[in-house]
Amino acid sequence: MARPGPLARLWAPGLALALLLVAPPFLSSFFLTLLTQAVIYAILAMSLDLVLGYTGLSSLGHAAYLGLGAYSVGILTTRHGAGFWTTLAVGVLLAVAVAAVFGLVALRATGVYFLMITLALGMVAWGLAHRWVSLTQGDNGISSVPRPAGLPFSLAGAVPYYYFALGAFVLAYLVLRTVVGSPFGRTLVGIRESESRMRTLGYHVWLHKYVGFVIAGGIGGFAGVFWAYYNGFVSPTDLELATSVETLLMVALGGRGTLVGPALGAGLIVILKNLVSVYTQRWLLILGAVYIGTIVYAPEGVVGAVRQWTTSSKGDGT
């Protein structure tokens, strides 16, 4: 079978988007805030997917970029009354700049060493948030972050902010889709599959990885900007190792290297975490079972499993 046409490939994300667009009137306000949270986390998970899924580098420090974006908003709005566009620009640029520095350090290594270096760098960012009290208010965090200002429309309620975050999500998805579909993105996949072969073919492997890493960082910062506005609060817990690990799990659960998968994984985890814990204190047990189930029965994640199932049922084998 030939590659499915663009329409065939777009129907699933298109349907999902349509559902997300018409959902608000049917949802309780609590569920809508969960969905907003899921949409923002989906941006972060998709950005990590560029590094983890497409380039094959497991990063344990991705929460740092979320934190950079979030702290940009927290500090600029509460201290300088900055508007949305300023905070967005600063948040993303700062994340890009820091990713550019972290990338220089981390990309000297691969495999488990890369994991350890990103872990350490992530902890450095967390440590800064925790200890640079004059700037970040340390452990207490920055509260009373207002909703975005300086826009032609009001984002006061839960519904407008949901659409706002959804817009950001679609934008991030389109950008990442373009990146992974471009020759650059295909090269990243090539590097994931065989670094030595790509090098022999004359590709500048390091530079490709580096640019991918920086783009992922920038989009992570982009997610952080929306995260801070959503919570109205920024604290070092946003940069914790637990946040990085959770993002990693979102990607793994949904299916790495698929973009749609991590977004789905983000939705699943946010909803499991917040909704199941309402009904039972044993929610961690359920979450654990879901992780183990995924690793055992769907190592390629939910989307990977679905794809495998649909292609094999069509009987073309590959």
Partner 1 sequence: MRGRRIASLLIAVALVGLAGLGPAEAQKGPIKVGFMAPTTGGAAQVGKDMVNGFQMWLDEHGGQIAGRKVEVIVEDTQGLPAVALTKLRKLVESDKVHVLAGLLFAHVGYALAPKVDEYKIPMLYPVVSADDLSQRKPAKWVVRTGWTSSQPNQPFGEYVAKTLGYKRVVTIANDYAFGWEQVAGFQRTFEENGGQVVQKLWPPLNTTDFAPYLSQVRKDADAVFAVMVAASALRFPKQFQDAGLKAKLPLIGGGTTFDEFVLPSLGDEALGGVTPLIYSAALDTPINKRFVNDYRTQFGKVPSYYSETCYTAARWIAEAAKAVGGDIEDREKYLAALRKVEIPDAPRGPIKLDQWGGTIQNIYVRRVEKKDNELWNTVIHTYPNVSQFWKYNPEEFLKQPVYDRNNPACKYC
Q: Which residues bind partner 1 (CB under 8 A)?
A: 28-30, 33-34, 37, 130-131, 133, 138-141, 143-144, 231-233, 235-238, 273-274, 277-278, 281, 283-284
Separation between Cα atoms, residue 60 and residue 248, nearest integer Å: 7
Closer by beta carbon to partner 1, 40 or else 179 = 40
Separation between Cα atoms, residue 34 and residue 277, nearest integer Å: 13
Closer by beta carbon to partner 1, 30 or else 309 = 30
> Shortest approach of partner 1 to residue 171 CB, angstroms?
23
Closer by beta carbon to partner 1, 143 or else 308 = 143
> Shortest approach of partner 1 to residue 131 CB, angstroms?
8
Q: Are the C-beta atoms of residues 136 and 142 closer than 8 Å to each other? A: yes
Quick one: three-class SS letters along 27-54?
CCHHHHHHHHHHHHHHHHHHHHHHHHHH
Closer by beta carbon to partner 1, 142 or else 188 = 142
> Shortest approach of partner 1 to residue 8 CB, angstroms?
37
DSSP assigned state of 276: I
Distance of CA 67 to the CA centre of its chain: 12
Separation between Cα atoms, residue 158 and residue 92, nearest integer Å: 24
Closer by beta carbon to partner 1, 144 or else 196 = 144
Separation between Cα atoms, residue 220 and residue 66, nearest integer Å: 5
Closer by beta carbon to partner 1, 139 or else 193 = 139
> Shortest approach of partner 1 to residue 238 CB, angstroms?
7
The residue behind tokens 């994640």 is 301
> Shortest approach of partner 1 to residue 284 CB, angstroms?
6
- Nearest to 13, CA basis, from 122, 173, 187: 173
